[in-house]
Amino acid sequence: MYGKIKKRSGIVRIAFLLMILLLLTGCWNNRDLTEINIVAGIGLDRTEDGKVLLTVQVVEPAAIQTVSSGKGKGGGAQPKPVFVESFEGETVFEAIRGILSIVDKRLFFSTAQVLILGERLLQKGMVEVLDFFQRENDINYGMNILVAKGVTPGEILEIENDMDSIPAVYIKETAENTVSRGTVKKTTLIDLIKDIDSGERQPAIGQITKAGDKEIRTEGVAVIKDEKLAGWLDPYETRGYMFAIGEVKSAIVNIPVDKGKIAMEIIRSKGKAKVRFENGEPSTLTIKVEVEANVGAYEGRGRLDSQDDLSILKEILKNEIKKEITQALEKAQKEYSSDIFGFGSYVHKYHPEYWKKVKKDWNDIFSKLPADIQVDVKVMRTGIIKSPVKKDE
């Protein structure tokens, strides 16, 4: 009896183990790399009759391999590392599935590096089309978002570039190297969603233009108001805006001096936008920026060997940064009436009662408030040499 049971349980065990094999394959519908199209970049725009125009840049892994290994060998047409396709649809998701009528395999979006929004899309509002990207489970929330100025997203995605075999990666890298120039705002999907959600801060999205047949340029930002495109900031205004919200990591600011120009390298920067209140009403917008800088290059004929010299530089740099911030703020206030600086968020957090009353009209109130901009500059070092070459002395 015992032996029989033992024998039977042995068979059951083997059957069970064999059944487990079936489960080890993983997901219900597993898809191999060869069965999907890896999306690198997405472009969204509207057609003239209001439909969503989706453009995708898809990577061909096989072609990339031949590009990188087959360079110099010559001969034969090399396959392109990416292809770009566009499709129209009433909704974003419809376009994504509809595009399969011209694309062979299903699109895989987790790998998307950039999402480029078209001007025409932003003129009508972008919130609706962004819903899909929040809801779908394989979208990367850290994806970069850019607004194409003067071109359509499709034209941007269609460029072919020698620096990187995948143009979308090239675009993303240029947007991310803003850490060393501060002239474009790196906007990720989550940043944008948070700004739209809160209603306390109007989004500002990095701007992308075409700089030639093979290059793009990411500089400046698109100012959004009430989910629609309000206007643009140029690179210097963008940098002022970035100083004010404390996003500048490093940047080069030129300052004029008596005999030439000095390029100051900002190495650290902190910025805070607050609102000063008097008797329960906002009285002034205050922007406080603390900057640490080094002398990067002295393109002129001067002396630079005492603390006094540095103090003068400090004053000039301070005014220069202040000027950029003022320009950005004035444009946001007077021209676009859009609180991209997030003053509203400060008001909501620290004066919730007042915020409740003015939530709807905050952008108008913001536009009328005077500003107090304080810039605190420290110039620490001058690099390997002190003074530049002396010629006339």
Report d(CA 186, CA 234) in Å as an integer: 15
| 369, two tokens | 């408030």
Q: To the nearest whole angstrom, how small is the minimum distance from the Cβ of residue 27 to other proteins?
A: 5
Report d(CA 222, CA 122) in Å as an integer: 10
Q: Strand, helix or coil at 266?
A: strand
Quick one: 350 or 374, whose CB is closer to other proteins? 350
Is 293 in contact with 269 (CB distance < 8 Å)? no
Q: To the nearest whole angstrom, how small is the minimum distance from the Cβ of residue 173 to other proteins?
A: 14
- Asked if 23 interacts with other proteins (CB under 8 A), we say yes
Of positions 70, 79, 98, 199, contacts other proteins by CB under 8 A? 199
Quick one: 130 or 377, whose CB is closer to other proteins? 130
State how beta strands 251-257 and 260-278 pair.
antiparallel
From residue 306, how far is each of 5, 310, 313, 379 by CA, in Å?
Answer: 95, 7, 11, 12
Quick one: 188 or 382, whose CB is closer to other proteins? 188
Q: To the nearest whole angstrom, how small is the minimum distance from the Cβ of residue 22 to other proteins?
A: 11
Of positions 33, 352, 390, 391, contacts other proteins by CB under 8 A? 352
| 36, two tokens | 């999907």
- Asked if 335 interacts with other proteins (CB under 8 A), we say no
- Asked if 29 interacts with other proteins (CB under 8 A), we say yes
- Asked if 141 interacts with other proteins (CB under 8 A), we say yes
For 302, residues 6+ apart whose C-beta sits below 8 A from its C-beta are 257, 258, 259, 260, 309, 387, 388
**Interacting positions 274-313 with other proteins (CB under 8 A):** none
Quick one: 6 or 356, whose CB is closer to other proteins? 356
Of positions 142, 256, 260, 383, contacts other proteins by CB under 8 A? 142
| 111, two tokens | 């790998």
Continuous H helices in the chain: 2-23, 61-69, 92-98, 119-124, 127-135, 153-157, 167-176, 189-198, 235-245, 307-330, 343-350, 352-358, 362-368
Of positions 90, 350, 372, 380, contacts other proteins by CB under 8 A? 350
- Asked if 98 interacts with other proteins (CB under 8 A), we say no
Choices 97-105, 194-202, 326-334, 368-376; region in contact with other proteins by CB under 8 A: 194-202
Binding site for other proteins (CB under 8 A): 5, 23, 27-29, 110, 134, 137, 140-142, 190, 193-194, 197-199, 348-350, 352, 355-356
